[in-house]
Structure formats: structure tokens, C-alpha cells
Amino acid sequence: MIEVINVEKKFGEITVLKNINFNINKGEIFGYLGPNGAGKTTTIRILTGIIEPTSGEIFIDRIDLKHNKKLIRSKSGLLTENPGFYERFNAIENIKFFSKLYGLNDNDIKSKIEYYFKLFNLWDHRSIPVGAFSKGMKQKLSLIRAIIHDPEYIYLDEPTASLDPETSNIVKTFIKDLKKQGKTIFLSTHNLFEAEEVCDRVAILNREIIEIGRPDELKSKIFGNRIVVEFENEPEKVKNILSTMGINFKIEGNKIIMDYEKSISSLIKNLINSGIDVSYVYRENHSLEEIYLEMVK
């Protein structure tokens, strides 16, 4: 479990993070959303012990990060925003170097490299200098680097940024697989569809946490839980029926938009009995993107 308590980070006089509080449960995929400069990468750097917060406390598995950075870093895997590889080294040399720094022995490195390179279709490219790799291949290699030491906590900074849809899909599927293995994943992303698809909970950040919760919780919190009824004819008659039932509503064209109520079934019955043709009834759907835009505006 990751516990972040009142974390603040200043660079000189500039406060880039303030009053950051959240918990991430074991085995959870936690989305971290925010505009450029919101402090997403800084948060990841703090959580991985690369830099220190100006104030506040962080506990990972109840271990104080401040005094146990090496231990925490050995339990963490990081996919950085820029892949960052030695361009003249081949893929295996690169992964070997980082694996050694994570303390893996030669036999482990060999077997894991073979497993992951085959999993990500990089095996045939293992002897090619990384400088010749495509962006997608580098990102896959970066993912291998983040997980080769079997970390419990995985921090992914924009993992699918500027990837083609196919590679992006491979990465998303892999993130879901990591969750199935019980890994805790911190996913910083601009891609709100991706966050909605894979995250159990999300935090919306703009130097401080604006909102935090499950995507569906945030939707109902921001937009309410609204039902749309589309009808074909007689809007005045529809208005009268709704008024007599005492329902809060608004009519936009041929749509009745109303808060969810248990009386929805009797409303539909009344409309049909009064000769109104009801064509669609559905819950108003908002994407995480709409929530995000609403929050950060």
C-alpha cells in the first residue's frame, strides 16, 4: 500500500506540488491525470525516491520512504516519460546493465530477458543497437526495464504517449496483466480514454489533488446520475405529464433529461399510455475526459 500524506514540493520559491494526500491499495491501478506542469512526473520522482519532498510523508508497505529509499527503489519499477537507453548498446546490453543495478544475477537476467523479449516480440531485435529501434520498440524495452526485477510497485509515466494504436494496445493489455499478477500500478497519463479503460481509481491533479475516486464515482459526482428519455411527438403533452408526476426535468428538443428516479418505469408507462412514442431511454454518459475538462477548467 502506498500512503502519501501532506506532500509538498518546492523548487526554489516555486511550489510544484502542495497538500498531496492519497492512498493506493495493493493490486490497484491508480490513474494520475493532469495538464502539463501539473506535477505528475514530480510526484512519480518523489514516490520512486529519485527526489525528496520538501515536506510530508510517504509510506510504502508501511515503510518510511525517507529513510529507506534504496529498499523502496528495489521494490519499484519505473517507466520514464523518455525511454532513455544507450543508443550504441544493443537491447540486451541495455537491459543487462539496468538489471545488474537492480541486483539480479546473471542467470536470472538471461532467463528473464529471453522471456520478456519474446513476450514483446523483441527477441529477433535483441542484438541491434537501440539507436535503430522505433519509438514503439523503445517503449516496449522501457517496460521490460521497469518490470525485469519483478517489482511490487510499478510507476508508468505516459506509457502510451505517441505510440501507434497496436503498440498502445499491447502496452494496455500488459498493464492489465500486471494487475492480475497483483502488482500495484501508478499510471500517469494524458490519455483519458486509457485511464478510464484500465484504472480502478483516478486522481485529477493540478499542483494539488482536485478530485480523487473511481471514474464512475467522479462522473456521478460531477454530472449527477441522469437519465435521458427520447420521444417522438407532442412535447407539450410530455411536459404536462412530467409536471403532474412532480419530477425535476428539462426538455432539450425531443429529449427529457432528468435525475435518476425510481419512478422512471411509471413515467415511461404514463408516456406510452398517453400516446407518446418513446424511442430511447438511457443513462446520460460522460467520459472521463469531460470530467477532467470540468475539473481543470
71 binds another protein (CB under 8 A): yes
Those residues whose C-beta lies under 8 Å from the C-beta of residue 91, and which sit 6 or more positions away, are: 117, 122, 125, 126, 127, 128, 130, 133, 141
76 binds another protein (CB under 8 A): yes
188 binds another protein (CB under 8 A): no
- The answer to whether 284 and 257 are in contact (CB under 8 A) is yes
Helix (H, G, I), strand (E, B) or coil at 98: helix
Minimum CB–partner distance for residue 89 and another protein (Å): 7
Kindly report each contact of residues 263-272 with a partner whose C-beta sits within 8 Å and lies 24 or more positions away, as own/partner: 264/227, 267/229, 267/241, 267/242, 268/229, 270/241, 270/245, 271/229, 271/231, 271/238, 271/241
When the beta carbons of 99 and 189 are compared against another protein, the nearer one is 99
Angle between helices 288-296 and 215-223 (to 10 degrees): 60
Q: Which one of residues 102, 123, 174, 223 is an interface residue with another protein (CB under 8 A)? A: 102
**C-beta neighbour count of 224 within 10 angstroms:** 13
Closest CA to 176 of 158, 163, 195, 191: 195
53 binds another protein (CB under 8 A): no
Q: Which stretch binds another protein (CB under 8 A): 76-84, 162-170, 214-222, 275-283?
A: 76-84
106 binds another protein (CB under 8 A): no
Q: Which stretch binds another protein (CB under 8 A): 20-28, 32-40, 86-94, 258-266?
A: 86-94
Amino acid of residue 275: G
Beta strands in 115-160, from DSSP E residues, in sequence order = 153-157
**Owner of C-alpha cell 539496468:** 98
Q: Which one of residues 55, 57, 64, 100 is an interface residue with another protein (CB under 8 A)? A: 100
When the beta carbons of 89 and 123 are compared against another protein, the nearer one is 89
When the beta carbons of 102 and 123 are compared against another protein, the nearer one is 102
249: its cell numbers = 426535468
Q: Which one of residues 112, 145, 201, 286 is an interface residue with another protein (CB under 8 A)? A: 145
Those residues whose C-beta lies under 8 Å from the C-beta of residue 42, and which sit 6 or more positions away, are: 9, 16, 17, 51
| Distance from C-alpha of 93 to C-alpha of 72, rounded to nearest angstrom | 25
206 binds another protein (CB under 8 A): no
45 binds another protein (CB under 8 A): yes
Q: Which one of residues 43, 80, 167, 184 is an interface residue with another protein (CB under 8 A)? A: 80
Helix (H, G, I), strand (E, B) or coil at 158: coil
15 binds another protein (CB under 8 A): no
When the beta carbons of 67 and 88 are compared against another protein, the nearer one is 88
Minimum CB–partner distance for residue 82 and another protein (Å): 4
Q: Which stretch binds another protein (CB under 8 A): 32-40, 81-89, 214-222, 261-269?
A: 81-89
**Owner of C-alpha cell 495493493:** 26
Minimum CB–partner distance for residue 51 and another protein (Å): 5
**β-sheet bridge partners, residue 31:** 187, 202
Q: Which one of residues 5, 50, 210, 251 is an interface residue with another protein (CB under 8 A)? A: 50
Q: Please tell me what DSSP assigns to residue 232.
A: -
Q: Which stretch binds another protein (CB under 8 A): 20-28, 66-74, 212-220, 286-294?
A: 66-74
Question: In the complex, which residues of this chain contact another protein (CB under 8 A)?
Answer: 11, 45, 48, 50-52, 70-71, 73-74, 76, 78, 80, 82-89, 93, 97-98, 100-103, 142, 145
